[in-house]
């Protein structure tokens, strides 16, 4: 059985706000209003790629915008189109993303009746001051209430958080992560702020009021956030803004096509340094689990250079049985 997901972007429609950082058209380059026909055609295209295998582990996802706040008739038409593939068992369920204030008891009932299984909420921050500064138009309490409502209706819940927002410090982001963990969602997406032309953040940056965080400091922060979530059993399903390749409107901030890899490399680097700090400078072998070698080495061997500058000349080896982020350190000339 092949695993296939279908994603459709419902851009901006339904958003009662224009958040300080958001210009979804730049991100997705979709100006077109998704129709039920688009749903059918995207699903049929995905199914055609399966060569007759079933897709029943997959989901049909409506991302972007504020799905539950769009015109009700339009929302139902999209859900009905997707639900026809869930009803007959071709797909496992439907995933939507929306704003926390777009969740009510009535909406939960509707989503449930139409085969929605997962709901992602754009929380972005759980600090009311940061939410207000970035014109989110909802409070932290609304995020918490929405999570509880979704949980009581049996949805798998995902939360999206941002780092580096206007008026937000690393400590604020860590505190938001702690509050998210307390809500125990199944998944989290971490979106470090990218300044997009035409947004309020762009204007604030130009006036000097907002200084966006760069890649280095973002990687440092996310290397703390990812283990916080993973250690709490929350799956981090994305780190960094997704782009279809056109980044011409990305004016500043933490955009990197392999941001997650950089963050995971930083986790390995810091863990290795912690181990090596107890040892005398010299040559060492750092063993990591299967598939983790490039993360320990770092992009362009940056982690090895970093350790070498501190007196530790390291080689990386792979060893079965080691878990993610686990490192076994041994002196090179030791047997």
Binding site for ligand SF4 (CB under 6 A): 12, 15, 17-19, 22, 24, 65-66, 99, 122
| Shortest distance, position 200 Cβ to ligand SF4, whole Å | 10
| Shortest distance, position 263 Cβ to ligand SF4, whole Å | 22
| Shortest distance, position 213 Cβ to ligand SF4, whole Å | 18
Residue (18 or 331) nearer to ligand SF4, CB: 18
| Shortest distance, position 6 Cβ to ligand SF4, whole Å | 20
| Shortest distance, position 136 Cβ to ligand SF4, whole Å | 7
DSSP letter for 101, please.
G
| Shortest distance, position 280 Cβ to ligand SF4, whole Å | 51
Please, how many CA atoms are within 13 Å of residue 108, restricted to the half-sphere of its CB? 18
Look at residues 90, 95, 84, 34 and name the one whose alpha carbon lies nearest to residue 62: 95
| Shortest distance, position 203 Cβ to ligand SF4, whole Å | 15
Tokens 């008026």 map to which residue?
167
DSSP letter for 316, please.
E
Are 59 and 91 in contact, with CB atoms under 8 Å apart? yes
Residue (46 or 147) nearer to ligand SF4, CB: 147
Q: Rounded to whole angstroms, how far apart are CA atoms 166 and 134?
A: 6
Residue (65 or 158) nearer to ligand SF4, CB: 65
Q: What angle do CA 268, 271, 273 make, to 5 degrees?
A: 110
| Shortest distance, position 123 Cβ to ligand SF4, whole Å | 11
Residue (144 or 220) nearer to ligand SF4, CB: 144
Q: Rounded to whole angstroms, how far apart are CA atoms 174 and 130?
A: 13
221-225: long-range pairs with CB below 8 Å, 24+: 221/163, 221/164, 221/170, 221/173, 221/174, 221/192, 222/163, 222/190, 222/192, 222/259, 222/263, 222/266, 223/263, 223/264, 223/266, 223/267, 223/270, 224/174, 225/163, 225/173, 225/174, 225/177, 225/190
| Shortest distance, position 128 Cβ to ligand SF4, whole Å | 16
Are 264 and 298 in contact, with CB atoms under 8 Å apart? no
Residue (114 or 136) nearer to ligand SF4, CB: 136
Q: Where are any strands of DSSP class E within the chain?
A: 6-9, 59-63, 93-98, 116-124, 156-163, 187-192, 194-196, 235-239, 250-253, 282-288, 312-318, 328-331
Residue (17 or 132) nearer to ligand SF4, CB: 17
- Which helix (H) or strand (E) is 180 found in, with range? helix 170-183
Residue (66 or 303) nearer to ligand SF4, CB: 66
């Amino acid at each position: 059985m092949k695993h296939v997901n279908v994603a459709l972007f419902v851009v901006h429609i339904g958003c009662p706000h224009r958040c300080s950082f958001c210009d979804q058209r730049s991100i997705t380059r979709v100006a077109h209003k998704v129709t039920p026909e688009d749903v059918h055609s995207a699903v049929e295209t995905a199914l055609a790629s399966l060569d007759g295998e079933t897709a029943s582990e997959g989901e049909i996802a409506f991302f972007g915008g504020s799905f539950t706040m769009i015109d009700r008739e339009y929302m139902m038409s999209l859900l009905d189109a997707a639900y026809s593939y869930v009803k007959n068992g071709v797909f496992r369920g439907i995933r939507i993303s929306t704003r926390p204030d777009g969740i009510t008891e009535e909406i939960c009932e509707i989503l449930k009746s139409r085969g929605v299984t997962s709901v992602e909420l754009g929380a972005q921050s759980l600090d009311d001051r940061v939410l207000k500064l970035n014109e989110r138009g909802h409070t932290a309490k609304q995020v918490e209430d929405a999570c509880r409502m979704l949980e009581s209706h049996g949805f798998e819940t995902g939360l999206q958080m941002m780092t580096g927002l206007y008026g937000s410090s690393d400590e604020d982001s860590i505190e938001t992560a702690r509050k998210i963990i307390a809500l125990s969602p199944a998944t989290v997406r971490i979106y470090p702020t990218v300044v997009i032309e035409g947004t309020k953040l762009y204007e604030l940056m130009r006036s000097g009021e907002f200084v966006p965080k760069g890649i280095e400091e973002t990687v440092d922060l996310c290397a703390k956030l990812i283990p916080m979530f993973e250690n709490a059993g929350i799956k981090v399903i994305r780190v960094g803004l997704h782009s279809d390749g056109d980044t011409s409107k990305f004016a500043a901030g933490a955009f990197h096509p392999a941001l997650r890899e950089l963050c995971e490399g930083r986790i390995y680097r810091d863990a290795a340094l912690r181990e090596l700090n107890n040892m005398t400078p010299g040559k060492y072998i750092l063993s990591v689990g299967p598939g983790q070698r490039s993360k320990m080495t770092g992009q362009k061997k940056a982690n090895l250079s970093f350790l070498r500058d501190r007196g530790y000349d390291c080689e990386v080896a792979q060893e079965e049985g080691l878990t993610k982020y686990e490192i076994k350190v041994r002196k090179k000339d030791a047997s």
